[in-house]
Amino acid sequence: MIKNAVIFIIVSIVLTLVSLLLDFKKTMEGLKRGFLMFKNIAIPFLNILILVSLVLYVIPQAVIVKYLGSGSGVMGLALAAIIGSITLIPGFISYPIAATLIRQGASYTTVATFMTTLMMVGAVTFPLEAKYFGKKVAAMRNALNFVIAIIIGLLVGLIL
């Protein structure tokens, strides 16, 4: 993992230097935009990671295994699907959360269901979606994605 990160950083630096040589002005503009994007996303990212870390620290591992582990059955799958549907977390933040849940004993099925509903179902954003696409379309999209997310979670569980 660390080896890949080092390779990625080296390639990024080399390509940035090449870009600076080819068009200094555009490269600097791109770097400024990238920095602003990073600045805007860093604080929410850190806040969510801290919050999740605190929650996972407070909740004993036995509870996570009981409700989200391989023995949790349909209840664990439903819990993961519901939590994923009502949670509004950016995708890139959900990956470290998923890794932590798996390390804490959650099953791949429940984590895959959580991740998929998190990305595909938007209970919190439903009013905004309904405003632009209509209630019927928004409800159908969310309902179908909810069912598909559970199927994906089950398939991941079968494969892994």
Q: How far is CA 12 from the centre of its chain?
A: 24
Tens place of pLDDT per residue across the chain (160 aa) = 578 889 999 999 999 999 999 999 999 999 999 999 988 888 877 887 788 778 878 888 788 888 888 888 899 999 999 999 998 787 777 888 888 889 888 999 999 999 999 999 988 889 989 999 999 999 999 999 999 999 999 999 999 8
pTM above 0.75, yes or no: no
Radius of gyration (Cα) for the chain, nearest Å? 20
CB-based burial label for 56 (10 Å; 0-12, 13-18, 19+): middle
| Whole-number Cα distances in Å, 79 to 52, 61, 62 | 17, 16, 16
Question: H-helix or E-strand containing 139?
Answer: helix 135-159
Residue 134 identity: G
